[in-house]
Amino acid sequence: MNRRTFLMGSVAGAATAAGAKAIPSPNDTVRVACVGLRGRGTAHLRAYPRIPNVEIAALCDVDESILAQRSQDLEKVTHKKAATYTDLRKLLEDKSIDAISIATPNHTHTLLTVWGCQAGKDVYVEKPCSHNIFEAQQVVAAARRYNRMVQHGTQSRSMESMQEAVQKLREGVIGDMYMARGLCYKWRDTIGHTPVEAVPAGVHYDLWLGPAPKREFTRNRFHYNFHWFWDYGNGDIGNQGVHQMDLARWLFGVTYPTRVCAMGSRYMFDDDQETPNTMVANFEFEDGGKKKLMVFEVRHWISNHEAGIGEPVPGQESHGVDVRGLPTKAADSNTVGNIFYGSKGYMAIGDGYKTWLGKEQAPGPARTDKREGVEHFSNFIQAVRTRKNTELHAEIAEGAISTVLIHLANISCRLGRTLNFDASAMSCVGDTEANELFTRNYRTPFVVPTITS
Q: Are residues 257 and 352 in the same domain?
A: yes
DSSP-assigned letter for residue 203: B
Q: How far is residue 431 CA from its own chain's centroid?
A: 27
What is the tens place of the pLDDT at every residue in 410-423?
A: 999 999 999 999 99
The answer to whether position 431 is within a domain reads no
Q: How far is residue 301 CA from its own chain's centroid?
A: 22
Q: Are residues 307 and 289 in the same domain?
A: yes
The answer to whether position 242 is within a domain reads yes
Residue from 36, 97, 93, 34 nearest 62 by CA:
36
Residue from 448, 437, 442 nearest 214 by CA:
442
- In angstroms, rounded to a whole number, what is the distance separating the alpha carbons of residues 405 and 403? 5
CA distances (Å), origin 234, targets 41, 106, 330, 357:
19, 8, 29, 36
The answer to whether position 116 is within a domain reads yes
Residue 373's pLDDT is 83
User: What's the mean per-residue pLDDT of the chain?
Assistant: 91
Rg from Cα positions in the chain: 21
Domain harbouring 31, CATH code:
3.40.50.720
330: containing domain: 160-188+236-368
The answer to whether position 97 is within a domain reads yes
> 435: burial class by Cβ within 10 Å (0-12, 13-18, 19+)?
middle
Q: Are residues 14 and 127 in the same domain?
A: yes
Q: Are residues 143 and 10 in the same domain?
A: yes
Q: Are residues 53 and 132 in the same domain?
A: yes
The answer to whether position 400 is within a domain reads no
Residue type, 152: H
Q: Are residues 312 and 346 in the same domain?
A: yes
Residue 2's pLDDT is 40
The answer to whether position 405 is within a domain reads no
Domain harbouring 338, CATH code:
3.30.360.10
Identify whether the C-beta of residue 370 lies closer than 8 Å to the C-beta of residue 283: no
- In angstroms, rounded to a whole number, what is the distance separating the alpha carbons of residues 114 and 132? 15
Residue 27's pLDDT is 72
Q: Are residues 123 and 182 in the same domain?
A: no
Residue 287's pLDDT is 83
Q: What are phi and psi of 163, to 5 degrees?
A: -65, -35
The answer to whether position 403 is within a domain reads no
**HSE-up of 264 (CA within 13 Å, CB side)?**
25
Q: Are residues 136 and 242 in the same domain?
A: no
Identify whether the C-beta of residue 74 lies closer than 8 Å to the C-beta of residue 97: no
CA distances (Å), origin 379, targets 124, 284, 374, 387, 395:
10, 32, 9, 12, 10
Q: Are residues 152 and 8 in the same domain?
A: yes
Q: Are residues 102 and 152 in the same domain?
A: yes
The answer to whether position 290 is within a domain reads yes
For the chain, 453 residues long, give each residue's pLDDT as a single digit of tens.
Answer: 343 433 444 333 333 333 455 555 667 999 999 999 999 999 999 999 999 999 999 999 999 999 999 999 999 999 999 999 999 999 999 999 999 999 999 999 999 999 999 999 999 999 999 999 999 999 999 999 999 999 999 999 999 999 999 999 999 999 999 999 999 999 999 999 999 999 999 999 999 999 999 999 999 999 999 999 999 999 999 999 999 999 999 999 999 999 999 999 999 999 999 999 999 999 999 988 899 999 999 999 989 999 999 887 555 554 454 444 445 553 367 999 999 999 999 999 997 999 999 999 999 999 988 767 899 999 999 999 999 999 999 999 999 999 999 999 999 999 999 999 999 999 999 999 999 999 999 999 999 999 986
Residue type, 199: V
Residue 20's pLDDT is 52
- In angstroms, rounded to a whole number, what is the distance separating the alpha carbons of residues 141 and 408? 20
Q: Are residues 299 and 332 in the same domain?
A: yes
Q: Are residues 165 and 84 in the same domain?
A: no
Q: How many domains does the chain have?
A: 2
Across 248-404, the runs of DSSP E, i.e. the strands, are 259-265, 278-287, 290-299, 335-342, 345-349, 352-357, 362-368
